[in-house]
Amino acid sequence: MEIQTESRLVRLCIEAACESRESVEKWRKQRRTLDSMPSHLADALLRRLFLRHLLFPSLLEAFKRSVEVVDLKGASNVDAEWMAYLGAFRYLRSLNLADCHRINNSALWSLVGMTSLKEVDISRCAKVTDAGIRHLVSISTLQILRISETGVTADGIKLLSSLANLIVLDLGDLPVTDTALSSLQALTKLDLAWTGVSRLPNLSSLECLNLSNCTINSVLQGNGNEAHLTKLICSGATFTNEAEAFLYFNTRFLSFLDVSNSSFNGFYFLHNLKAMEYLDLSGSMIGDDSIEAVASIGANLRNLNLSKTRVTSSGVAILVGHVPKLENLSLSHTPVDDLSVSCIGMMPSLKLVDLNNTIISGFIHQDGAEPNLISSLTALHSLKDLESLNLECPKMNDAAVDHLSSFQELRLLSLRSPSLTDISLHHLSSLPKIKNLRIRDAVLTDSGLFSFRPPATLEILDLRGCWLLTEDAILSFHKRHPLIEVRHEHVVYTSDQAACHRQPRTSQRLSQVNQKQEKLPVSQYFIDQRLKYTREELLALQFQSSSLGSPFDKSHAKPQMQSD
């Protein structure tokens, strides 16, 4: 990540410097240059050496007067010898040793008395115990400390009270007792996920609290100053007594509440949270009867997640008119139908709407003398800021997608339905600002892809699960539009290649892709897809694709080349 912010020549130089052991030997003696190097460049160089497995303890010494940030997360070879060198880093500000399993108490001894260290992460270093904490508390400058899943006990946590500057503490999955916590008064951010804390004492300066997956009796109980908690995460928590759980702290400032997948049931409590901006109720017990409470605090709400709940279209209707600032709304995996879409169309600030895995089909069935089909998706045209729309609904068909083709601001559109064909792909080529288009599990054909003229703004085309497409068709599309990243079972990007996406090295990438494919067996997924269709249906599809292909071929015989 650090490297990407650098200019191109800097990046090329760092690559060249970290080419091999020999190239490292060519420059490691240039001590004066290394010492005078700006820290962000030294940090990036060290990071690259580490990622290329070229870093060893004595090489660290060359960086002791320049580097400020060291991230060795997940390195199994980092041990006390490495730490001896790191202890001499004069300007070290942040040290990440998470998942370095060889780190033990004596390795941490090297850090004693460091004067500029502000952030230490030793998460999941299981050999570190209370004795290691004794070494760390000698670093009075520490502000952020992450010791989740270590061998530290309640006694070790009590020691942390001497760290006067500590503001963020991650104690996830430690045997934290309620009394050990009361000694930590200055914290503003506390992460207690997966711990045994049940009654959180009053920490008056606390602003941010993570109690996910805990069993909660009460939060911030105690007399005196009330904490001004702004962010509370209780996802996956079990509440033993909800009425009491939130009784003791001032909820007026709470703007972020995540109670997803928890046993939280007291939605009447929501009425008091007037400052609420981010509310995650996904996977909770909420149903239409409690939506009223959400509507009553909707004035400042920007993000509302109701996915995997029992909320139906009538629940969504209650929200209309009460959520003027709502930007993100998720209703995925809920029983909402097309009637909810017209309600969503009346929430004026929406930018992101997620309706993944609902029974929405794009049409409202009107009963009457003559049954009538009315498009529900046209209601979304009134949302002028809509940028991202997820309609991965298995009931969507080509006729419904036709109504999506005129969205002006849409950047991301996600569709997933076995009823979609080349016609949908054709409709969507007129979206003016689309960057990321997903059409998954559809019956797209080679000729459909060939005649598809992607909008100039398109960056990612996700066609996973479109099992009729052949490798040749996808490669030829990729050749015609090298700047578009195509995702399909036939194309495999390593994470590295995906990261350097849109860099002009397409020819090289394409050849790599080619090599990869030869080794790849056909995935199980395809076989499943084919079983869904009978021989007759397959033949019909084949016929359909060729009959569809010809009119498109005529209208734009020459696929438009991407101008670079």
Partner 1 sequence: MRKEDSVKLISAEGFEFVIHKEAAMVSQIISNMLTSPGSFAETEHREVTFPEISTTILEKICQYFYWSLQYANGKETEFPIEPELTLELIMAANYLDT
- Please give the residue ranges that form the binding site for partner 1 (CB under 8 A): 6-10, 12-14, 16-17, 19, 22-24, 26-27, 30, 33-34, 36-38, 41, 45, 504-505, 507, 564
Query: What single DSSP character describes residue 76?
Result: T
Residue 508, class by beta-carbon neighbours within 10 Å (0-12 exposed, 13-18 middle, 19+ buried)?
A: exposed
Q: Cβ of residue 18: shortest distance to partner 1, in angstroms?
A: 9
| Backbone φ and ψ of 372, nearest 5° | -125, 145
Written as one letter, the residue type at 465 is G
Residues in the chain: 564
3-class DSSP state of 518: helix
Q: Cβ of residue 224: shortest distance to partner 1, in angstroms?
A: 51
Cβ-based nearer residue to partner 1, 37 or 133: 37
Distances (CA, A) of 62 to 41, 76, 95, 549: 14, 22, 17, 63
Separation of alpha carbons 95 and 109, rounded Å: 14
Q: Cβ of residue 439: shortest distance to partner 1, in angstroms?
A: 32
Cβ-based nearer residue to partner 1, 224 or 504: 504
Cβ-based nearer residue to partner 1, 34 or 304: 34
- Secondary element (H or E) of residue 189: strand 189-191
Cβ-based nearer residue to partner 1, 6 or 553: 6
Q: Cβ of residue 371: shortest distance to partner 1, in angstroms?
A: 59
Q: Cβ of residue 249: shortest distance to partner 1, in angstroms?
A: 48
Written as one letter, the residue type at 144 is I
Q: Cβ of residue 19: shortest distance to partner 1, in angstroms?
A: 7
Q: Cβ of residue 90: shortest distance to partner 1, in angstroms?
A: 19
- Pseudo-torsion of CA 373, 379, 381, 382, nearest 10°? 150
Cβ-based nearer residue to partner 1, 17 or 159: 17
**Tokens encoding 56:** 């060893």
Q: Cβ of residue 21: shortest distance to partner 1, in angstroms?
A: 11
Cβ-based nearer residue to partner 1, 9 or 531: 9
Beta-carbon count within 10 A of 557 CB: 8
Cβ-based nearer residue to partner 1, 25 or 472: 25
3-class DSSP state of 96: strand
3-class DSSP state of 231: strand
Q: Cβ of residue 27: shortest distance to partner 1, in angstroms?
A: 5
3-class DSSP state of 441: coil
Q: Cβ of residue 33: shortest distance to partner 1, in angstroms?
A: 5
Cβ-based nearer residue to partner 1, 22 or 367: 22
Separation of alpha carbons 103 and 81, rounded Å: 10
3-class DSSP state of 500: coil
Cβ-based nearer residue to partner 1, 13 or 364: 13
Q: Cβ of residue 360: shortest distance to partner 1, in angstroms?
A: 46
CA nearest to 278, candidates 246, 314, 233, 321 = 233
Alpha helices in 28-79 (DSSP H): 31-36, 39-51, 57-60
Separation of alpha carbons 440 and 409, rounded Å: 22
- Taken in order 464, 467, 469, 470, the sign of the CA dihedral is positive
Separation of alpha carbons 467 and 507, rounded Å: 26
Q: Cβ of residue 78: shortest distance to partner 1, in angstroms?
A: 24
Cβ-based nearer residue to partner 1, 5 or 406: 5
Q: Which residues have C-beta within 8 Å of that of residue 551, sequence separation ≥ 6?
A: none
- Taken in order 389, 395, 398, 403, the sign of the CA dihedral is negative
Written as one letter, the residue type at 122 is I
Cβ-based nearer residue to partner 1, 10 or 364: 10
Alpha helices in 95-229 (DSSP H): 105-108, 130-136, 154-159, 178-181
Cβ-based nearer residue to partner 1, 26 or 252: 26
Q: Cβ of residue 189: shortest distance to partner 1, in angstroms?
A: 33
Match 């503003």 to its residue by tokens: 188
Cβ-based nearer residue to partner 1, 80 or 510: 510
| Backbone φ and ψ of 328, nearest 5° | -120, 130
* CB distance 242 to 221 below 8 Å: no
